[in-house]
Amino acid sequence: MFTAISVALWAGICGIDDMSTQMIRRPLLIATVVGLLMGDLQSGLIIGATLEVMWMGIGNVGAYSAPDIISGTAIGTALGILSGGGTATAVALAVPTSLLAQQLLILYRSSIVALNPIAKKWAATGDFSKIFKINAIPMIFVFLIRALPTFLAIYFGADVIETAVKALPEGIMNGLSVAGKIIPAVGIALLMQMMLKKAELWVFLLVGFILAIYLDLSVLPITFIALPFALIYDMASREKVVVANTTEVDEMDEDGGYDL
């Protein structure tokens, strides 16, 4: 009972963070804390790292509501630890759970717009204390959307999940394990597609690949090597913008503009 409540509270807090600062809502931190609460920090770190890479490129774009990585991570990690299935079980449960929670979020976001006329009316009066109070309503809802399903899944689903996992054929579990290794690669590919928009950025990817594969360096030394290159590239980009702006001003002066 205590474990289910504590993990549910943590999921609810992450839900509130999702609509505010968005500092603790990532799978790596969520799963790590869940593992700590459940007395298995190592499994929480491993599952969190896997889900972080898997969902690294996921985000809300426009009216699109992405799968709820908070519920998926909290429930998947908790039941993965309770069932003893580890990362394979966590990934297998996190994906459908995040999709189901996504539907709850869509329903919530479609309903919460009913508060807009009330907020607009209060804003017109200049009484901003009421505006601050009305923000408590969506905070309560996003807390419950994450906390309540998490509590129910952990409190009632642990034994059921464990029985179901033991009943699964070995081939299915092996398939889930393979999927858990493939899906993070898809997440990395989505992130690269978003970030590597300029052709020159692929050079940095090539250098990182060479350092990791041929020089057998780990992530930390590669990061330290990359920092000065990133700084130089940023400074060069800023200098390029300054030169372009200066050239534009000079051309305006030559055409009869005024010197400032």
Domain ranges across the chain: 1-197, 199-254
Name residues whose C-beta falls within 8 Å of residue 17's C-beta, 6 or more positions apart in sequence: 23, 24, 25
Count Cβ atoms below 10 Å from residue 47 Cβ, excluding itself: 32
pLDDT classification of 253: cutoffs 50, 70, 90: low
**CB 17, CB 25: distance < 8 Å:** yes
pTM as predicted: 0.60
pLDDT score recorded for residue 223? 87
- What pLDDT digit, counting tens, does each position of 125-171 carry? 877 777 777 888 888 888 888 888 888 888 876 555 556 556 667 77
Provide the token pair at 202.
């692929």
Instruction: Indicate if the pLDDT at residue 40 is higher than 80.
Output: yes
